[in-house]
Amino acid sequence: MMNDSNIDLTFRAFTDEHLSKEFTQNFKNIFKGDVEYIDFSDVCEATSDINSWFKKQFEGPSTNVIDSDYLRKRNGGIIFGNYLYTRTSFDHPFNPKGLTHILFRKNEHEVQNMVALTGVGFVRYAELPELKANMLMVPLVGEQNVVVWLYPTNTDDMMDMIYQIQDPNKLHAAFSKLKAACRNLHATIGQAHVVNRYSTFIPELNLDLSGLKGVHKDNKTPSGYSILQQLHLIADKFIRGGPINSPKCPDSDFPIVVIDRPYVYLVLNKLYTPIFAGVNYGY
């Protein structure tokens, strides 16, 4: 049984530039973030400092999220780091069923074996104009838990959406608007340490493509750079291909779901309380 839970978001801006007082103050007030001035001319030291900050955000072990080659190519500027997570206390450890091992291709040369949660079932969907976002909900295999994807209608509204959903009342109001949709969506949630062009740690969404043979002509393991594309295909195939006006699909106008932008995902218990959270800025 869960005793307490809350969502939190940690931000930090690493920069070697002079930032305006207004920007710094807004960054601290709105995103509760700190600004750290760093000497990018010493690439190795700067890389170590940034990775150290990320590692402090974890309760468990983590890998580096940025390498010195990336900083060398950037030649200074601002690097934004963020970590979205939940802090939860349990009477008993969270030990979900439906665990699976998947291979995630980090790049052309590295493949990572990850433990992941598998979700499959009929989708629920909602448009949330008050959050400037849309929401998808899918049950997790073998559990009463569900996973929710929240994605902004406009990419520029991502930060505001994240800020808004930290209010439990607004988050639960959004859940109340979810409606049953067509067919099902099959996806896995895992944790991948990936360096992308935004230099952020990504608890990543990885899709189970077992039902979509032929998506890749060479049948290779899907890479991080095609994750969002695969989600388009999964949603289009399973949702739009579902039976119209069936008991599980009352809304014949359910849209083709395309998450081609940044998103937040939350794992919720049966009381709709978040027990895990992740953020992806896309590629």
Task: Please tell me whether residues 126 and 203 are part of one structural domain.
Answer: yes
Read off the CATH number of the domain in which 39 is found: 3.30.497.10
Q: Which contacts qualify for 70-76: CB closer than 8 Å, 24 or more apart?
A: 70/195, 70/199, 71/40, 71/43, 71/46, 71/47, 72/43, 74/40, 75/40, 76/16, 76/17, 76/40
Q: Are 165 and 171 in contact (CB under 8 A)?
A: yes
Task: Please tell me whether residues 45 and 127 are part of one structural domain.
Answer: no
Task: Please tell me whether residues 76 and 104 are part of one structural domain.
Answer: no
What is the number of helices (H) and of strands (E) in the chain? 6, 11
Question: Total domain count for the chain?
Answer: 2
Read off the CATH number of the domain in which 226 is found: 2.30.39.10
Q: Say what the pTM is.
A: 0.45
Task: Please tell me whether residues 218 and 98 are part of one structural domain.
Answer: yes
Residue 140 sits at φ, ψ, to 5 deg, of -90, 145
Return the number of other C-beta atoms located less than 10 Å from residue 189's C-beta.
22
Taking the CA atoms of 218, 221, 225 and 229 in sequence, report the sign of the dihedral they define. Answer: positive
* Residue that terminates a domain, selected from 86, 102, 126: 86
Report the alpha-carbon distance of residue 213 to residue 277 in Å, rounded.
30
Tens-binned pLDDT, residue by residue, of the chain (283 aa): 333 334 455 677 788 877 777 777 766 765 567 888 888 888 889 888 887 887 776 554 455 667 777 777 766 667 766 654 444 333 334 444 444 554 544 445 655 554 444 455 556 778 899 988 888 777 765 556 777 878 888 877 877 888 888 788 888 899 888 876 544 444 444 433 333 222 222 333 333 333 333 333 444 444 433 343 344 334 444 444 443 334 444 444 444 444 555 677 777 777 777 766 666 554 3
